[in-house]
Structure 1
């Protein structure tokens, strides 16, 4: 009789266990890599969308400048291009060139001597001339990108791509022309990126993801790469944990772990959890009568610290909430907390008010008004003590917005227009809608005492807005000379800024 092999079953068990571990790791890698590729594509398309916005605005400005019938660089011509510069979002200055010489710009007016343009760094397939990081065109201290088309020289604002941050380690992207011989912008880890995407290696798909897309209308392409996908994007601890999960529970447990990892890696889901758990906090910054120094109200400012203890900037999570359809839930969370925390102060002082940022989608939503009424009934204070600030960055139907604002004002709420003069909120709003309060953006406050177009625009706006009957709030007052100037020339305004008080939590307000 042949003796049983004492090593047969243990060896089979070991091989089966190792096979399950290998399958689990392989499936895990493929699933996570698929998510990572989707994230990379979304990231690249976000960059492309911003590039197209800049290109569209540039194209429209060039068309509008060439449609001006006044003599080039005349006073009337300069007024027109200053208006175009003032109302643009992504262009900081507009110049006029002739015979390869810069004659004038919106910011600097007519130049004492024409500036001869150097050889451009690139010429697009549509004839636009590009200069990258060019210095000394009008001031040796200023370095800027420039684009010339049809005698119009455009200076894109450096902030046009500032809010596009790199989401994870290993991400990189480049905005480039169709010929791939001129780079417009770099994002993240870009070493060898163009070559990797153009000529992918035989096995690079296993640990890398590449994505490229080109515009059919403009000479713009985006090439993106993630060098850490699938298992390579996870920590060593996570890989060991997934391996053990494969040994113990197989595919079901692995799938659950993947879902957990996916949810915790996503800032979008973190925000959703924070809103549902009421983890979005509110700080309050005072409004002060500049003439008397009296605090007459507070602005509610949303603040978020994620589960890792990191402070997420408001412009980041508010834009994320807008792009992922969570902005309504975020607004309601902030409104509910604000009214809950401020209600004792508002009941004690009937002259005090609190200002809350909302979107035009909230204004036109009938359910929001019902929600607001319920919260005010809980607090037991007057509707006149609530100021609703319109901060929507996208366009809206002015007729619907106007009708909704009229109804809110009939109920007793006051309405404010935030960030006036920055390109989002402009004269077009004022021509169609009446506001109780108009807030002038900090960019103009910073120009006080500096002879510049922004300073002249500030004085022009203050004089113009004084005729509307609206209260005027000037934001971002941080220096004493700014306050002195405003007090001397515009003593009826309301001041806001660090000089009068930084945003603090409700505990410090009450004390």
Structure 2
């Protein structure tokens, strides 16, 4: 899981995710356009099929009307002169149907053209049967008419009741459509198809095929449309897709171009959204809580005894991928989001939970915390340290304040008084840097001063190194407790030991780096001085001397 999240946090992986999202969007848009186009094509195919089907339906209607007229007007004795005359009158109507016959039990007994036949002409079983409003219409396709007196003539027969209509095979004069091919024919009640015109085989290939047939060797739009579900006239159509795409290539290219533009836009939006969601700021604000705050403890050593009398609590944040993030990355986010007091409370609460589980010894442990300048004006700031204040036999909380031009001395003093009245010691942090000055040191009634690390870390002989002596002397003149941080070398530690009066407390990587609570407990108890040889040597050299009152 951590590896997966780490991939999302990675800028390169975000770009890959955006690229994949853009590709997915491109494919999806193309599929949507293709789906829409196919729906339009299916609708157009159905419309064209109905147009092709319409002349055939008109012909079927003429047959039905002719049968109705025969039943209505040919009422005389079958095959009598009057009966034949009645049929001839109907044959003269301008509907294109001119040869009618009467069918008795034995077969065709008479017709308009041949009159009464010498003997009835029997009819074999019908090739197919079509449904009609007045009953089923039996159909015989392409039958030799020699036995009816028409030598060399091939005709089809449609029979309804006692009448039959003889007609030649109609010409395949259905309207041509440039973008599709078709086959039409008759489908009986059993689903059997009798082809009558068009391109042979289309009906059979359409059976079971999807309307959008993209998996065949020749992708196409397919459809079969009948005037009635069974026993009617059907038109099977096919529209090959590739020729359509080739014919409409400008539209195809324009569609691909627009889909690509849209995909680029989607990729950019996804990239921006993923970057925002997985940015350090979003991850921090989304997950900031008791479970993601980590505390490290840097020992603060008494210069007179060499013992760890205090510690500075340093915050770390555990990222969503399990990595540890240092304050210089997230503190600006805390300040920008105005969650400084919440953050301080999380750190203090976590530190108390951990420190309260260790042995602190007979003397209270001074625990220092960095306080945001903006929180000095928060009335709820003292309550943040309430657990430490309540446990005064074991701990004494210390607030390290950084002076800011945004807060004047009078306001800052009132806040210092508020903290001290609540049982919280106060140090001026980073003295000698930023906005700190000698006048504020004199005017503010703080408990001590922490001299900025830049002086202690400066190389010997430099102006900053000489200013360390002056800074110590100035703070000592005010009677404040002195803490020097940034002790990185044994030489600088020994130099501070030679001060008279001595510096009160020191802290720095030469003595100990910030450590977790377990290591801090062992360091303080003397059980793991091997992890900090410098601290071990310093403690040994100072053994036997009296302990000074801390932050007094």
TM (normalized to structure 1)? 0.49
TM (normalized to structure 2)? 0.46
Question: Is the radius of gyration larger for structure 1 or structure 2?
Answer: 2
